[in-house]
């Protein structure tokens, strides 16, 4: 027996509120894509030709930002919301995903179907799904240590790099479709061409090839992994976020606006990321393109201020979330910290 959630009565209201923003165009996204591609090419050129190491490192960080921006546009293309054309979305998405080395079709299979299809439903959702205390205790010592690392403030990029990118977004596994293989080859060839390009540039400019590869590929990619990991983490992890075990209860709670955060970064750095942190509106209607998400998010905040608060993320706030949101007890809908679990286990043993 499950209790109906009052949000089930407001689905039509949310849908009607957001529908006017679900309109894509051609000019705006193509211009944004060209700007981001130019930023990526320009920063890559500076990595090679900048006259001093400081400028090269700054260019490397600019590359990380460019990769993140291109990924946001590719993410919209995967949702078929970037432009009105599915064919153009398909081509743009593949191109824009190349610097992040993400396979377009594999991303659609995992993100669109798994994450958006079952957001907050623990047995089916994909990124940052918290273990329950019982599940955590049932893991081996190594598995528990790994999980602790993933939920730490410094381990988020490692989590995304291995559990999401390496295991799901680069090489197909399980049921393999021809489009998965083609996209995997496309990304692999791009990666090889990047490496070859920096080796060639190093040879003809008298520089160190490993140094150029580090600054042109490795460091920007690591920055992208951490940016992606932290953004995805704060979207669905905070003290009031709810995760569901029972699918009937989960369906009654849709649209779960309170469980998906719209956030602001310090100095409004989030504006550099094509409104990617206006995430509540995106989950309520994935057809809204990123260049309309800011207005859609503000409309939700005005109409439902209690359920869609403006959440500002700082370093301190992020650290607080990682300390408080470690394990989740779905039956009681509450977060449990590692120290709380270890304390209760110790009491149980003593008793």
**Token pair of 165 as six digits:** 């990118």
Confidence class for position 1, pLDDT limits 50, 70, 90: very low
Instruction: Say if residues 224 and 64 touch (Cβ distance below 8 Å).
Output: yes
**DSSP string computed for 153-204:** SSSHHHHIIIIIIIIIISS--SS--HHHHHHHHHHHHHHHHHHHHHHHHHHH
Quote the tokens at residue 40: 């990526």
pLDDT at 349: 38
> CB count, 10 Å around CB of 7?
18
Average pLDDT over residues 123-145: 95
> What confidence score (pLDDT) does residue 345 get?
60
Q: Residue 304 contacts by C-beta under 8 Å, 6 or more apart in sequence?
A: 14, 257
| pTM of the predicted protein model | 0.93
Q: What is the pLDDT of residue 267?
A: 67
Q: Could you tell me which residues are beta bridge partners of residue 290?
A: none
pLDDT band at 175 (very low <50, low <70, confident <90, very high): confident
What is the mean pLDDT of the segment spanning 18-46?
A: 97
> What pLDDT score does 73 carry?
98
CB count in 10 Å sphere of residue 107: 22
**What is the rounded average pLDDT of the residues 156-183?**
92
3-state SS class at 264: strand
Q: What are the tens digits of pLDDT across the range 200-213?
A: 999 999 999 999 99
Which residues, including other chains, have CB under 8 Å from residue 59's CB and lie 6 or more apart? Answer: 43, 44, 46, 47, 50, 215
pLDDT, tens digit (0-9, with 9 covering 90-100), for 284-331: 899 999 999 999 999 999 998 888 877 888 899 999 999 999 999 999
- In degrees and rounded to multiples of 5, residue 312 shows phi and psi of -100, 125
For residue 106, give Cα distances in angstroms to 102, 171, 187, 203, 257. 8, 8, 12, 36, 27
Predicted confidence at residue 199, as pLDDT, reads 98
Q: Rg of the chain over CA atoms, in angstroms? A: 21
Kindly indicate the confidence band of residue 9, based on its pLDDT and cuts at 50, 70 and 90.
low
The answer to whether the beta carbons of residues 316 and 53 sit under 8 Å apart is: no
Please tell me the least confidently modeled range out of 110-119, 139-148, 196-205, 323-332.
110-119
Task: Work out the pLDDT band at 6, boundaries 50, 70, 90.
Answer: low
Mean pLDDT (the chain) is: 91
DSSP 8-state code for residue 262: B
Given a cut of 90, whether residue 264 has pLDDT beyond it is no
Please give the average per-residue pLDDT across 119-148, as a whole number.
Answer: 95
What b/e sequence results for 187-224 when a residue is b if at least 16 CB atoms lie within 10 Å of its CB, and e otherwise?
A: beebbeebeebbeebbeeeebeeeebbbbbbebbbbbb
Share of the chain above pLDDT 70, in %: 95
Output the pLDDT for position 148: 97
């Amino acid at each position: 027996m499950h209790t109906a959630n009052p949000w089930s009565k407001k689905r039509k209201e949310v849908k009607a509120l957001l529908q006017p923003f679900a309109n894509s165009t051609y000019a705006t996204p193509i211009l944004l894509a060209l700007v981001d591609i130019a930023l990526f090419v320009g920063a890559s050129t500076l990595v090679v030709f900048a006259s001093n190491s400081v400028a090269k490192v700054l260019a490397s960080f600019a590359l990380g930002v460019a990769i993140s921006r291109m990924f946001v546009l590719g993410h919209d293309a995967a949702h078929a919301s970037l432009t009105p054309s599915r064919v153009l979305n398909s081509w743009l998405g593949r191109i824009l995903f190349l610097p992040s080395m993400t396979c377009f079709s594999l991303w659609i299979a995992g993100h669109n179907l798994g994450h958006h299809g079952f957001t907050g439903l623990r047995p089916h959702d994909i990124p940052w799904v918290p273990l329950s205390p019982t599940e955590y205790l049932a893991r081996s010592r190594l598995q528990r240590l790994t999980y602790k690392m993933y939920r730490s403030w410094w381990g988020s990029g490692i989590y995304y790099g291995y559990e999401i990118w390496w295991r799901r977004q680069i090489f197909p596994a399980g049921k393999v479709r021809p489009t998965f293989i083609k996209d995997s080859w496309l990304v692999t060839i791009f990666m090889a061409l990047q490496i070859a390009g920096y080796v060639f540039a190093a040879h003809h400019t008298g520089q160190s090839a490993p140094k150029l590869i580090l600054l042109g590929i490795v460091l920007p990619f690591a920055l992208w992994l951490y940016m992606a990991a932290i953004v995805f983490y704060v979207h669905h992890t905070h003290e009031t976020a709810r995760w569901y075990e029972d699918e009937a209860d989960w369906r009654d709670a849709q649209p779960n606006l309170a469980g998906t955060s719209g956030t602001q970064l310090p100095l409004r750095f989030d504006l550099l990321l094509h409104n990617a942190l206006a995430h509540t509106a995106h989950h309520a209607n994935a057809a809204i393109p990123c260049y309309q998400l800011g207005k859609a998010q503000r409309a939700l905040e005005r109409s439902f201020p209690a359920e869609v608060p403006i959440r500002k993320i700082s370093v301190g706030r992020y650290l607080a979330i990682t300390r408080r949101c470690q394990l989740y007890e779905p039956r009681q809908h509450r977060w449990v910290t590692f120290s709380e679990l270890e304390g209760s286990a110790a009491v149980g043993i003593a008793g």
